[in-house]
Amino acid sequence: METAEKLRKIIVALGMVAAILLIALGVIWFNNSKIVKQLKVEKADLTEQMVALRADYDSLYVNSTLLTDSLAVEREKVDQMIERLKKTEATNRAQIRKYENELGTMRSIMRHYIVQIDSLNNLNTTLRQQASDAKKEAADSRKKYDELRTTTDNLEKQVTKGSVLKARGITLVGINGSGDVTDRSSRVVKLRTDLCLVENALAKTGYRRIYIRVKGPDGIVMTSGDQRVFKSGGEEMICSASREVDYQGSEVDMSIYFSGASSYTKGTYSVDVYGADGKLGSADLVLR
């Protein structure tokens, strides 16, 4: 009886130990399952962060070959780390922590690239603005140059126009054999053209030749037999007579004689006076 009682007590004790062990194993299994589930969540979250980082790299754009190549290398690194993470068991906490550290490093690198890209974009914006400003300044300078050139051309034209030799007081008179003025055709032996070259500080100084074209009552230019040709204002013409005078910008009184006709008839005679730049004026004479 005593042996049976001892055996029963032993069996009860062993049952209680077994029950305790089963409870302990259940608690351990539950805790392990909870930890594994948490690790899987952490792995999935880490994977999402890496994928998001990869997408952030894809969103970066810069017009720089050097930075573009560097970004491509970093994208490749992220892709490789994502593949390694997928093959790593969630329970490998040491490796998961290592990937977390690498993710932090890659984020720091990405922030560095963002700073560089922002700097380049700002620089490009500045350069584009400077180029636009320079283009505008060039256009303004060209406009001012054109305006100045137009003003200069106008001034040159005015100076050129103002520098043309001018004359006043042009008269045509008949001269008799005694050198006196007469309007009687029968006594006239030659014709005299009187004029005054006016003062002009802009006119070219030096010897200037003045030409006259005398026309008789028939309107034909009178010459001394040999037709002398001159050029005035770019046009070639026949002259009746000419004279050279030293012009220094001050008024010059002068006379030019024509004595090429053997006789003079009654009627109206005219004279046109020319310089190298053009016509200086005209005058008429009536002989009776």
Confidence at residue 246, expressed as pLDDT on a 0 to 100 scale: 94
Q: Is 165 left (phi over 0), alpha (psi -120 to 50) or beta?
A: beta
Distance, CA of 191 to CA of 175 (rounded, Å)? 6
Q: Coil, strand, or helix at residue 261?
A: coil
* Same structural domain, 95 and 192: no
Does residue 127 form part of some domain?
A: no
Does residue 156 form part of some domain?
A: no
Q: 103 vs 44, 55, 83, 96, CA distance in Å?
A: 14, 14, 13, 10
Distance, CA of 237 to CA of 190 (rounded, Å)? 22
Q: Domain containing 227 — which CATH number?
A: 2.60.40.2560
- Output the six-digit token pair for 124: 């490009």
Final residue of a structural domain among 121, 151, 183: 121
* Same structural domain, 210 and 265: yes
Distance, CA of 124 to CA of 73 (rounded, Å)? 24
Domain that holds residue 95: 2-121
Does residue 155 form part of some domain?
A: no
pLDDT in tens, 23-34: 766 655 555 556
CB under 8 Å, gap of 24 or more: what pairs does 65-68 form? 67/113, 67/116, 67/117, 67/120
* Residue with the larger pLDDT of the pair 49 and 223: 223
* Same structural domain, 116 and 174: no
Q: Domain tally for the chain?
A: 2
* Residue with the larger pLDDT of the pair 204 and 18: 204
* Same structural domain, 269 and 191: yes
Distance, CA of 165 to CA of 248 (rounded, Å)? 11
* Same structural domain, 89 and 196: no
* Same structural domain, 117 and 201: no
Confidence at residue 218, expressed as pLDDT on a 0 to 100 scale: 95
Mean pLDDT value across residues 14-20: 73
Confidence at residue 29, expressed as pLDDT on a 0 to 100 scale: 58
Does residue 28 form part of some domain?
A: yes
Lowest mean pLDDT among 27-31, 138-142, 175-179, 218-222: 27-31
- Output the six-digit token pair for 109: 């690198």
Does residue 84 form part of some domain?
A: yes
Final residue of a structural domain among 89, 106, 121: 121
Q: Coil, strand, or helix at residue 156?
A: helix
pLDDT in tens, 256-274: 999 988 899 999 999 999 9
pLDDT band at 282 (very low <50, low <70, confident <90, very high): very high
Mean pLDDT value across residues 11-36: 66
Mean pLDDT of the chain: 81
Q: Coil, strand, or helix at residue 178?
A: coil
Residue 151, pLDDT > 90, answer: no
